Structure 1
């Protein structure tokens, strides 16, 4: 059965200076998405019934024509959201200049344990300060979590409550190589995920969807013998910074935006051939609620 593609993640820049140690970006390159290529992409997506785009990266606030990207999407009748790690004055200025045109803005942050693991400095407090500085109606703080403690969760709960922002959580995704390097077993990893979930639940009253997602990740990362990964069920396509459309950021098949209209439409409406992996499951979740991340607003930035 085909899943109707309703939204698209758009990589506006192939590079990223944050360089998280646990980054699960699907592609990396130099340069920015060309505006002419982007406009053509929007036209083809609109013809296939896509209703909205999410600008991601790398870091979208680095794009020299960010306002034009947002305006073009509106000209095609599409809603626009953004995922960003904006923290510097220049990044926040660029974001604030388009924020009122965005349906929502998600600012990425990391827990203390995740910052140590990934060698990042994206604190939740600085993420909230970015959200305070912009005028978007819906503001979301997306926190990648690892090795949480009660004091940190309590501080985070007070921080988001006082700021009036929504909060989303995702666990760090570690591959087998990273686990071996850190001397952790599969069991250690799974235990830590559930300890973190317990602490979050105490302060944020998580729904069952988050734990269901953890079970999905467990089955994907450590499948039972003979287990098969299920097919892609995403309602979001992915556009690379060099102008290729995929049904999944990690998908092997793609179609160039300069391909014939019929070929692009067929690609977006035919059943997806990709299989779900832990990486794509981390950015492709079904709902956009306070304890879930969604394909339209949880891509890494």
Structure 2
């Protein structure tokens, strides 16, 4: 057997591959190793560590580039666990012949986000591969940080599901450049640490819908928490241009990666305050559903549409590749 493209799509096939490969690794005292970041309890608090690799194609797209996505994506993965990043690593694998001026632009983007967030890039690695052995540029970033509280409170029936902004912007921005169609949509990619900090005392868990989109993020949470969810399609914040592009390309909106959004869970008592605090950052923030059952043997994510209810399963097959 050989590795297939869909085994890196953020869906069922990737999860199955990772589960098989992890069997060869020894156990450790780190927790949350199946989540956005691993956590180690120490005398000074909870130490968080995450890593991610980025293969965006094209490298430049409306509102961003691979460097911006690489730094924001890793900062955000740590933030979803309630851990503010304190330092970053940066690894570059560069194709021979890649324009130096493009690499400079990408490093400027990385430097801008690092300065804006106050999170320094403290170490890294650079490799150059023969022309044709790698496609332009691959970036790997890691982040570390410490917190006194991890976002891992168990979910309960009635908890509200809040989405921090419109769906699909990042993916459509990248695809518009790849397939050369016109749109006013730009990437939503940004650091989410301030938004998480504003609502951390109010929420139970959070996850950014990157690879595999909202469908992957919610099914992942449902599986780990053994809970089912009901979403309201009419409450989903989606730009008209994004809906049009999704229909044009024939792709699933809920499987598209978002690099500047997150979904979080709050009790009914805290949901309104959470919503109002997040609307300061993005007026499109909305309550999109709720947890319907817990202790489920077969957790499900269900979408209420105009025509009735349907399952929103974990993505499978050939999801649009190289969006992050």
TM range (shorter): under 0.3
Greater per-residue strand proportion: 2
Q: TM-score of the superposition, structure 2-length normalised?
A: 0.24
When you count helix as a share of all residues, which structure comes out higher?
1
TM-score (norm 1): 0.26
